[in-house]
Every structure is written in structure tokens, then in C-alpha cells.
Structure 1
Amino acid sequence: MFDTTTVDNIKSKDKERSNKILDLDFTCFDFIPSAILVQKDNEIVYVNESLLKIMECDYEWIMGKSVYKLFEEENNILSTKMKHLFNIEDGEYRIKNSRGNEIEIELKCNDEKFGDSNFIFLNIRDISERKQLQAELQESRELYKNLIDILPIGISIHDGKTFSFVSDSYIKILGYDSPNELVGQKLAMVADKVFQKVVDERLNSLLANNIMLSPIEYKFVTKQGDLIDVEVISVRFSYNQKVNIISTVRDITEKKKAEENKKLLERTLEYDRLKTEFFSNISHELRTPLNILLSSLQLIELYVVDDSNPKIMDIRKYIKVMKQNCYRLLRLINNLLDITKIDSGYYGLDLHNHNIVKIVEDMTQSVASYMEEKNIQIIFDTDVEEKMIGCDKDKIEKVVLSLLSNAVKFTKPGGTIDVSVHDLRDRVKISVKDTGIGIPKDKLGLIFERFIQVDKSLSRISEGAGIGLSLANDLIKMHGGTISVTSEYGIFTQFDILIPLKKVENENVMSNSDQYLDRWIDKKDKAEMVNIEFSDIYI
């Protein structure tokens, strides 16, 4: 910094010299808060203290120079204008002071002629601080605008009739490309005509009363002419002594769709519940008279034992047909009851530790005589003699028997069915492979769907409702396992079951007498199960 004492001395001497050179008195400028500079012809003859502060210099540094020399810094806009235009225009400029620091100034210029001399009077004001504040204000405005534009809701400002501002998110919601497409336009341009009266009434109410309107749902029209669901909230505010309204708009089209889907789902679930109750009730109602019919047929069989009587033979043939069809009905009813229980969540597993190899082998042997009658060879194979696993024995038997029944339906006489059990350490694999007609590739993905039949021809050799495989899939899933199918049309079909190796802890072991009774009941039940499961296959 310069020595103020020296500056004062120089200032005093320079003033005296200037006043001697000029017959003009500039001392009145000393009291002006603005920076003043006076140039006579091409020489600066007066500056006040305010200018010295702006330029951070002393009288000795500035006096005697020309204005052009004072501002001839490189890339200086002011000096360029002076050099090329030979005059100085009023305005704002960026200059460098004596220390090389850039400052923003506001400059006003006036030129006068006194005698033979040309005078230039410059009024300079340091606006660096103001420019900094303006820059910060502009930065804040841009920041707020960016914040508004990135909000997921659209924001608009209007007077109840005409848009004066819309955010980028607002135009995106309505499918426009630029805010200029809406600014200055009527609100009726975006509101659906059905809601126009409601919109006008609410906005007029808001303009008359300083309140916040509660959220309301409208339909807006996009630039493309599509209707979208929106939620609008509006509030009144004053700006530039005028009443304006700021409205937020949120696109709720997806929300409305979700609500509609939810209602549709609820109706579907209610329909499924009613359907489940109907199947359950009708199945119970059908099962009661069917059990009576089966009991009556068994009783009749006790009295028709004379094989020598042709009429008795006919009666026994018809009894067999009646019993087979009763079994078919019983199989269908049982399957319907099972799937309704599964759907309603009331179907549980009775888990115990069983030798899965024996379960599959016994089930295979129980159909051996039937296979022999159909001239189909059935082969059982295993790589482990015993594998204990926690499972529901009845359900596993039902699944295996269902797969065997499915294999028989589509295997011609002379064909082969292979049943195998393999130990995979943490899992057990059960496979049923037949040399039947196979499954077309386009049907493989549907094979476990309910009520789906691969063979829908009138000439098929078996009947069925398309429930068995779907039920088998559900039962294996309940065990935490999977069931899959591979097939080559016209050559083979193979079903593979994978069940995780889990055991039931702290299970009581049955006594020998209980095991004997269980085997006796089991043998009797298996015969009944085979008769029911194979009842829809023509012999």
C-alpha cells in the first residue's frame, strides 16, 4: 500500500500545478463520493481520492497519463473501444487497477471543449461487489430453477387463466418439448373439458380467499392428445403486487392403474375363493352318494358267485364297468378336493422318516400285474438300497402312481417303463421314463398346468381332467423339491423328481406289531389306490 502522507503531499502539489495550468477549479469534485477523472487533451489533469482508492494508486502514478494509457491493459474491453471507436461509451466494464487486480466499474463519460482544449470527464463507480452479488443471485436462481426442474412433480405459476411459468418436469408430464409452448397459453389448453368447470370454480375460490386448496384429481390432456390422471394442489401468493397461483401437478396414471389392478386382484381372489368353496362343496356332495354306490356294488359282488350262470357273468361284467366308472369319479373328486385344499392353504404334510427307495419300489410292484395285463414291461432300478428321508408317504405314493398312470396312458403294448431312484447326497432323484408317444415341444411348458391335456383327440385310449400332473407338481413343491419333464416326440418321455434330503428329528420308532398292521393296511390301500388311479384307462 502507498503512504497516505506522501499521497497528500503529492496531491497538494499536483493540485496547485493543475490549477496553475488550468483556469478551471476542480476542487469541488473532492466532495463527490463517485470517482472522478478529468483529462485535458491527452493528459489526465485531475482525479479525486475516490478514484485513487478504486485504482489503488497515488497521484504520481496516474497524473499526466492519458485515459487510453490508463486502460490499455491486454484484452481490456474499455481500451479496445477507445482505440477503435475513438470515443468512450457509457456502460459497465472490467478493468485492471494499478496492482493488476480486475475490477468491475460503471463508467459515464462527458466531453467538453474549453477554449482550445478538449476535456473528458469520467465518472467511475466500483460495482465489483454489486456484480458479485448479482452473480450469486443468478447462481441462486439457476440453482432453484434446477431444483424445481428435477422435482418429480410439475410446478406452474398462473393467474387462474394464463400460464406465466412452467417447470421442465411440468412440460415432461404433459409431453411438451419446451416451457415456451405453455407460457402465455390458457390453462384450458391442458385441462380436460369434463373438468373445466370444476377447475374454474376452485381457482376463482382461491383467488377470492387466501387458502390452500386440498389435493384433487383431474384428467389433463397431453400435447399428443392423450388423457392422463394427475393430482393437483394449488395455493395463492402475491408477487409484484399481483395475486398469482402456484400449482403442483403429479402424474398418478400408474397409481390409478395400480389401484384398478388391486381392485381387479381383490375381485379375482374373491372369485377364486368362491370357486374353491364351490369345488369343495360339490366334491363332498358327490363323494357321499358315490361311496354308497361303491358299497352297494361290493355287496352285490358277494351274491354273484355262480360263474356257470350266463346271466350272473353278465351281471359281474356290468358290475366291473360300474365300479371302474365309480373309481373314475372318485379319482376326479379326490383330486378336486386336494387342489381346493392346496389353494385355500389347508393342505398339510404328515412328515415322517421313510425309506424313499422302498416307497417307490413298492408302488412300482403294486402296478406290475396291471402292466403285465397291458403287455408293458416295467423295470425298477436303484443305486442305493436304503435312503431315509423326511416325507409324507401317502403324498409321495400318490405322485409316483400318478406318473406311472400317465406313462401307461401313452405307452403302447410292447413298450417299457423304467423307474429309478438315485442318491445325490443332499437330494434324492426319482425318475419315471416311458417309451410312449412323447410330448410335443410346444406343450412341454404347459404340462404341469391345471386342466391341460396333451392328447385331445377323440381316439385317445384314456380319459382325464388334466389335474394329476399339476397336483403332483404341487405336492413335490410342498416337500421343497422340483419335478421336471424331458421328451422327444414319438420316442420317450421322462419325469424327474428331486427331493432335498431332510429328516424329521426326534421321531418315535414303531413297534413290530404296529409295523405289521401298517404293512397290511398299506397293501390293501395300495390295491385300492391303483384301481382308482388306473380307472380312466381303457383295457
Structure 2
Amino acid sequence: MLDIYNDKYSYIIILNCLEEIIFCNKNFLNRLNYSSGEILNSNIKKIIISEKNIINQLDKENKTFHFLSKNNELIKVNFNISVEEFNNNECIFLIGKEIINEKSDNLFLEKSIYELLYKNCSKTVRENYLTEIKEISFNINKILTDVGQKMLNYTQADGISIFLYDNKKEGLKPILKLKNSSMYLENIDFIPLKKYELDSQKYKDYFNNIYLKNTAPNFSMIDYNDNNEVKYIGSYTIELNEELFGLVGLSFKNNTRPKINNNEYMKYNCNRIAMLIKNIILSNQVYIENKKRKYTERELENYLAVSVDLVAIVGKDGYFKKISPNWKNVLGWSEEELLSMPIVNIVHIEELESFKGRKKHEEIDQQITRHNIRFKHKDGHYVHLEWNSMYTKEEEIYITTSRDITKTIEIENEKKLLEKAMDAEIAKNEFFSNISHEFRTPINIILGTMQVVNKKIEKNNLEMDSLKKYGKYIKQNSYRLLRLANNLIDISKMDIGAYELRCSNQNIVNIIEEITLSVADYTKNNKINLIFDTSDEEIITYCDADKIERIMLNLLSNAIKYTPQNGFITVDITRDESNIRVSVKDSGMGIPQNKIDNIFDRFSQVDEFFNRKYEGSGIGLSLVKNLVEMHGGYIKVNSEINKGSEFIFAIPIKLGKEKECNNCEIDRKYKHVERCDIEFSDIYN
């Protein structure tokens, strides 16, 4: 059956219910210069010029359709439309013949003009729009002039005008006036008109139609110089996809009657003008954007060339893919060397694991991350880089920028050292000011006491009880001077490395218990509860018993100083596999959070911002920290204002080879009381 269709002279098209072409006979394909593969299964709108659907026109016996051939030739065909069965489905049959009394050269978009517009524009796009916009505009004016002349010839109108809509000024601007229109529109350069007015029903019914001049509203406010020779006016919208670009106006004199088929012709041509304008607008936009892009690219290249930042693209495999020129200036490696080696080869070994871990994290988060990383310079030293990176999942690359911050870090380190030195100098000044007071106070007390004693001796009025009391004052303040002198001597020895421990294998639990019990009188006099607890009765370790006592006495004296009456002090000993852990906890006034980090600094005092209840030089805790660390241990503090403090120190459990026989055990026990008196000499009952 298909062969019969192909033998017929008529044009035959068969459509399915979606208006898709399922068959065309050879005559029709040859006439449109298409192969079957180019249009089969395509919607008929690909080749037909019509705003209406074929299905909506099934009730019409004869219908003329305009087809555009592959060579852009307009072909008119008069079809009979019917619904018949084809391949067991109801289909739309279009059977017709070409209307040959009208020549396609009447169209304004003949092949030469079409090529001038579309082929030149396509070439411009392909060549990155090297033609200037003004040259394109010149071509448009020439094309529209040719278009207008073709329209005049076809419609046999007495005048034609083309208006383009200016969105900024909101109105119509005449750009073409041919024949009588040049006279009628002589004084009109711009017509103010809102788009919503053009879309209103009042004017819309008169678009795309020809009507008597005296029956239509003057929607365009055109005067036509009050010429009574004009009888008919045609107004056609230049629009594409409901976007209005302008109007085309036709005028006919009294003795000229418009052709019946002018409307279809004009609508088709106005649609093509709209396509032309839209194409040029898009071309100009692409041209401008392309110029901007080229400018931006040149600007970026110049920026990268002079930028102090390092820019790079890194692949997921860990290799540089592209780098900016200044990498060589910062790291010394040439571009070829950097591109040929994995980045991890030049990352500092201490930061390698964290660098790899951050890469995995960045791949998941796909966010900009910032890190400071040390990279190896070609000459061997390391450069600190501030590394900013963003992972692009689609391309599997890292876009990175880096900045050399080595000098900044060096300056910051020097600043910290300077600040530390200044703080130390301030602390020293405060210490010497305080130490002078520490020396002067006990000396004044001793001298004052001696003066009182001498006076009483002169008057022969010295009683035994008074003598004991005065002797106690002298002894306590002498201990204060001795304690201060010992601390100063010991801290100086530690500074020059001349301070030594005399270690032996000792039961440290017994040492701490004895020294704790020896201060019971002091806690009792101050109405403080003293608690001692241990998880082990014996822990043998290599230590200096005298220095352990000194550590405990200092911590206990501080606890007594700052614990109120009816408070408590707890000494607790625990152990783990490798360390003995000693806790001295009190219910005292506590330490401010801003002082905890500095509590073990030399010359620092806990009660700087409180009313000082007790005297002190501020070097005791610094000495304690040094003694603990000399044993290979550590010390820390937990504290909260008005809830007390807990000092915890730990030293390793180990046995050592004793250098000599220590006969200090008896001497140490004998001197417990004296040592307590010396350490607690600044606590007055």
C-alpha cells in the first residue's frame, strides 16, 4: 500500500494522534528536500508554519498549510484532512497538492537574505563574534529594508512601516518608512506606549488584521498627517513566544483593495522578523559576554602572574595538575619538578598524617577548608603555607590557593617570646619588690623583739614566760628568713643545672604519711580537718625523700593558708601500673580560672586579686613543679572559686641503683618538726 502512496502525484502525510509524522510519500519528501530519516517520528511543527494544531482543523475539508523546505523555501499546499485507519490505528491523513500560482520569491526571507542573516550569524558565533555589533546592526537595517520592499511588492500596499519596541523608554520607535509611510510618519520619531496597553483587549482584536481606518482605535497614536487618502490599515505584531519586539504597519489608499491572503503572509513574515531580532539580540549578548569572559581571563592571568598567593589545581591522585608561576619563587622547585612529584613528598613528616586525613574529610564535605602546612623548600628548609582548598567532586580535583606565612609565624613567635620576656621581667620586678618586704618584715620583727627584750633586761623586768614568747617570735621569723634564703638558693641552682637529687629506693607512702601527720598540730590550731587515705600501704620507688617531703610541705602549707576554719584537707595516694598519684585537696577559696594556667610560673601568686591573708614570695609552687619534673613526673591543679582546689602530682614507680649508703633516714625523721616549722613559718596563729 505504501508503494501506491509513493506513485501518486499528490503529497501524502500521515500523522498519529500526537501529530508526529509516521509516513510521507516520496513526492513530498523530494519537494521539501528532506530524507525520511530527518522528519519521520518528528512533530509536524518542525516543517509547518502554523500556530494551530492539525487536530483542531479536522472539520475543515480544505486547508492551506505553509511548509518550509530544507532550503528555506516557502511551499503552500492545499490539503484534504481526514481520519482513517493505518497499521490498525486511527491516524490523520493529509492529502493535497501544491498551490503553484504563487511564487516563493514573493517571500522576504528568500535564500539570499536568509543566508545573510542566519549563516552570517552562525559564522559569527563560531568565530567568537569577531564582527562588531555596529556591523551587525547595519546588516539588520539592510535586511529590514529588503524585507519591507518585498512586503510592499507582495501586498501591493501604498506604504509600510516597521516599529521596534524600546523597553527602556517604553514605546515604539519607527526604524523603517517606505513609500507613502515616509510622508505619513514624517514627524513621528517615537510613540510612548506601555506594553500592557498593547496587550489590552481594546487593541488586541485589531492586531494581525486589516481594517478600515475610521473603524479602529488609534492604538499607535499615529497622525498620518490627517491624510484622507488612506482607507485601510494593517497592524501586525512582531513577536516570538509571546515576547513582543514591535509592529509592522500597512496602509492602503482609497482606490486599493487589500488582498484576502495578506494576513497569513504578514503573520508568517512578522514571525521571521521576530526570529531575526531575537537572534541578533542573543548574538549581541553572547558577543558581549564573550568579550567579558576574554577580559576576565586576561585579568585572571595577569593577577596570577603578579599575585603573592600560590594557585594550583591538584588531582585526586595527589599530584599537581597546574600551578601558578610564583610557586618556584616560594619553594624553589621548578614547575616541571612540582608537576612530576606527589605533594606528600614535600609535606613535613609531622603533618603528613593530618594532611592525608584532611583530604578525605574535604572530599566528603565539599567545603572550603583552611590549614597551615609546612612544605619543604628545595634547599631543605621548610616554608609555612596557609593552604585553602575546595574539592570539586564532578571533576575530582582540588582548587587550592596558598600564601607564604613563614615570616608572619616567625614574627608571631618573636612576639610571643618578647611578651614572655616582658612578663618575666614584670614578674621579677614584682618579685624583688615583694622579696624586699619578705626580708624586711621578719627582720623588723626580730629587731623589735630584741629591743623589747633589752628594755626589759635594763629594767630587770624580764619574766620567763615573756622570754619564751619573745624567743618564739625570733625563732619563727628566723625560719622565715631561712626558708626564703633556701628557696632562692635552690631556684638559682636549678637555673644553672647545679641542683641534684639524692635518690634511693624508698617507701613513698610512708614518707608522705609521716609528713602529713607531722602538720596535724597546724591544722588543729587552725580548726581544719586533716584526712589521710591510701590504697596501698607500701609503694617502693626511686626518689629523694627530702624533696618529696618538701613538695608535700609546700602543698600542705598552701592548703592551710587558704582553707577557712571547719574546712578540710584530704591527702590521697593511689597508683596505676607505672605511676604513684598523690592528691592534696582542700575546701578553700579556690583559684580564678585566669590564674590556673600561670599558677606554677615563677614569682606568680594565687591571691593577686584577693586581700592577702598570708605572706609569700611566689616561688614555692614553681619550686614544687621543678622538683616533681626532676623525678620524671608531672603536676596539675583543678580548682573552682569558693569550692576549693586539688593539686595532683605523679611520679613514676621504678627501682634504681643506689649510689651510696644513705644514713639520712634517722636524720630526716629527727628534722620533721624543724622542717615543718620552717615551711609553715609564714602562718601565724
Please indicate the TM-score interval, normalised by the length of the shorter structure: 0.3 to 0.5
> Which structure is higher in RCO with an 8 Å CA cutoff and minimum separation 6?
1
Q: Larger C-alpha radius of gyration, 1 or 2?
A: 2
Report the TM-score when normalising by structure 1: 0.44
Report the TM-score when normalising by structure 2: 0.36
